[in-house]
Amino acid sequence: MSQVLPISNRESWPWPPAIQASALVHVVALGAGLFVSGAWPWAIGALVLNHAVITAAGLTPRSSLLGPNVTRLPASAVARREIAITIDDGPDPDVTPKVLDLLDAHGQRATFFCIAERVLEHPALAREIIARGHSIQNHTARHRHNFSFLGPRGFAREISRAQQVLEEVTGERPSCFRAPAGLRNPFLAPVLHRMGLSLISWTRRGFDTREGNPATVLSRLTDGLAAGDILLLHDGHAARTALGQPVILEALPKLLARVQADGLRAVTLPEGLST
Ligand SMILES: [Zn+2]
């Protein structure tokens, strides 16, 4: 299925300065290599360095070098004392219902970056997330581990499939996207732009797919907690505590208590991003 874009749409993509600079490096290096005697080693060195910088940016989830990337809520949300709790990799039939109960008990809301194939396995649970006042956003169709190595077509397939599934199941079309582990390459930003999706990363994360100590996860999330923060936890792929509990179930109640004690309010991303 080819996706032919109108020229105007293609041209509307504002290539980030770093990518424009990268293109310039290629042109200059090629020109120097061809026309300046003895310049080849320098030209190749410049290209290798350029690719190292671009790759490093793709491996840095909070970087904006490859395109727009939301790491905090806007000033309007800060003024409203809002934060966003984002919960990735679900829905999970064992963990997510308990997470929903904890959020209800504290009267707070969250955003679930769901994997579309898991939504297809548990559609009623996805609808319950929405019915209880939370938001579901796009975390790809399958959460492929090689996601960050895909090209434009691969990105478009994974992301548009998830858009379709999430909208069909929940009745709401996502406006936010998060890459698996936050990893990407320069081809992602134009695809998101075309689909009207905002790339969302985070202010802080608990590394709770690997860290089983709830106190460590909590302190990573709350050290310096302030209005506008976007926090990352996991209901899917959650690490287990020493007692075998998914770590989110022990860390989340304490996080919610801290949010309330600090006079903050956890809202969904669409609420927090609204001005
Ligand atoms: Zn994930």
Residues with Cβ < 8 Å from 255, sequence gap 6 or more? 85, 218, 221, 222, 231, 233
Beta strands in the chain (DSSP E): 82-88, 111-114, 135-138, 176-177, 198-199, 204-205, 230-234, 265-266
33 CA from centroid of ligand 1 (Å): 42
Nearest CA among 234, 140, 129, 230 for reference residue 178: 140
Mean pLDDT by 10 residues, the chain (275 residues): 45 76 89 90 90 84 90 98 98 98 98 98 98 98 94 96 98 97 91 96 97 97 98 97 96 98 98 94
3 CA from centroid of ligand 1 (Å): 27
Nearest CA among 132, 126, 94 for reference residue 249: 94
pLDDT score recorded for residue 7: 44
264 CA from centroid of ligand 1 (Å): 26
pLDDT score recorded for residue 64: 87
115 CA from centroid of ligand 1 (Å): 8
39 CA from centroid of ligand 1 (Å): 44
What is the CATH number assigned to the segment(s) 75-273? 3.20.20.370
Give this prediction's pTM: 0.89
pLDDT score recorded for residue 119: 98
DSSP-assigned beta bridge partners for residue 70: 200
45 CA from centroid of ligand 1 (Å): 35
CA pair distance 201, 182, nearest whole angstrom: 7
230 CA from centroid of ligand 1 (Å): 15
Residue reference for tokens 């008990």: 105
List Cα–Cα distances, 145 to 19, 141, 182, 197, in angstroms. Answer: 25, 12, 11, 21
Nearest CA among 228, 215, 247 for reference residue 87: 247
CA pair distance 238, 252, nearest whole angstrom: 12
Task: Answer yes or no: are the C-beta atoms of 248 and 234 closer than 8 Å.
Answer: yes
178 CA from centroid of ligand 1 (Å): 8
Residue 42's CB: how many other CB atoms inside 10 A? Answer: 13
Domain ranges within the chain, ordered by starting residue: 15-58, 75-273
pLDDT score recorded for residue 2: 43
Beta strands in 5-60 (DSSP E): none
CA pair distance 22, 29, nearest whole angstrom: 10
pLDDT score recorded for residue 126: 98
CA pair distance 6, 11, nearest whole angstrom: 9
